[in-house]
Structure formats: C-alpha cells, structure tokens
Amino acid sequence: MSIMCNNHIKYNIGIDIGDGLMCPILYNNIPCENVIQFIVGDISVLYYINIFMGNNILSEDNTLIYKTSILSPEKIIYIKLNIDNILYHHNMVLITIYTKTVVLLNEIIVLPILDIIYVIKNIDISKYKLRFELKEIIETIKNKINTNMIKLDESDKIILNQKLDNVISNITELNNIKLLEIKNNLKNKFFL
C-alpha cells in the first residue's frame, strides 16, 4: 500500500478589492501559487486591497488577515499569492503586487490560527458588483472635479457633490435596475 502525505490549509485565502465579495486566490493544496489581474480605474486614486481567510462568499463573513493600499503608476496590476511547504510550516503566505514594470509590494503575511463559522446565505453577487462599480465611478467623477478635469461653477460643484454623496449614502437600498441605471447615466454624462 502506498500512502501520499500532502499538506492542506484549512481555509481559502482570497482578496477583496472593495466590492464586499471575497475572490479566492489560494485554495487548500500546498504548494500553491495564483495570480489575478486587477484593472485600476484611475491611476491617481489610492486603492485598498484586503486579504481574507475563510470559505464564505461575503468578505464580512471571513477573517481579515491583511490590508494595504496601492497607488499604481499603470492601469493593470497583478496580485500574486504564494504558499509553499516552507511558508506553510511557518504559517505564512507571500503576497506580491506588481505591474509590468515595477513591484509595488512584496511581503510575507503570518496567517492566524482560526475557527471560522461557515455561513449559508442567498447572495445577489450582481448587486455587490454593481455597488462597487458605482462607487468607483463616483470616486472617479469626484477626483476629476477636484483636479479641475471637469470644470464646474462652485454652486454646481456643491450640488453635484451632494447628489453623489446622496447616492453613496442610499446605495444599499437601491435595487439592481436602479444601480445599473445610475451607473450608465453617470458614465454617459461624464464620458467615462
């Protein structure tokens, strides 16, 4: 009889780029390495990247193990997570964030020992993605207004900012159709 010994991590390790959903990158086999590509909407905006551990879809149902912010000089960034046998035995994972020309982050994360409760929910993933896209569009518009790429009178700036803040504050109450409608209207009006 042959016995194969293989290491497994108990939970997936994934990333949340701000939409509230965990996108698993590392699964339970060791060694494991995975790279995902992320397209930055505006290179002058700081992006927050959160790394979670757990097997639930919603980030809030998992455990946050690392957070960082990235200001990228290029539109496309790559996020690579790596765990090999040495890192596994020291309860660590290597995160590398880079573009085609520069490494933005290269760091080892110590993984906590966790007992995570599994949560079963009906989740409308489209709604979370639409909320994230709408928030990103609003942040881009606000940034363009603040840097005078979009020229408005002061009174118009105040009114527009109030309307955009109102959308953000009520975003959880909007249905998918309304979220999509607002997103498309803003993209068309501001040529995004």
In a shared domain, residues 145 and 94: no
**pLDDT over 60 (residue 4):** no
Query: Is this prediction's pTM over 0.85?
Result: no
Sheet containing 63-70: order of strands = 23-26, 13-16, 47-53, 63-70
Mean pLDDT of the 107-132 span: 79
| 185 and 99 part of one domain | no
Residue 177 in any domain: the answer is yes
Closest of 192, 144, 141 to residue 168, by C-alpha: 141
In a domain, residue 118? The reply is no
pLDDT in tens, 148-174: 888 888 888 888 888 888 888 888 888
Q: What is the pLDDT of residues 76-87, one digit of tens each?
A: 999 988 888 777
Whether residue 71 is found in the same domain as residue 29:
yes
Six-digit token pair at 68? 């960082």
For residue 115, being part of any structural domain is answered with no
Q: What is the pLDDT of residue 61?
A: 86
106 and 17, same structural domain? yes
99-118 CB burial, b ≥16 within 10 A, e <16: beeeebeeeebebeeeeeee
Instruction: Specify the pLDDT at position 97.
Output: 92
Question: How far from 63 is each of 31, 42, 48, 55, 112, CA to CA, in Å?
Answer: 22, 28, 16, 10, 9
Same domain (yes/no): 151, 73: no
Query: How does pLDDT run across 103-119, given as a tens digit for each residue?
Result: 998 999 888 776 666 66
Tell me: pLDDT of 5 over 60.
Answer: no
21-30, 63-72, 91-100: segment of lowest average pLDDT: 21-30
Domain total in the chain: 2
Contacts with 143 (C-beta within 8 Å, 6 or more apart), sequence order:
42, 44, 45
Q: Is residue 5 part of a domain?
A: no
Same domain, 22 and 85: yes
What's the pLDDT at 3?
Answer: 55
Domain that holds residue 170: 125-189
With cut-offs at 50, 70 and 90, classify the pLDDT of residue 98.
very high
8 lies in some domain: no
In a domain, 117, yes or no: no
- Cα 8 to Cα 11: distance, rounded to the nearest angstrom: 9
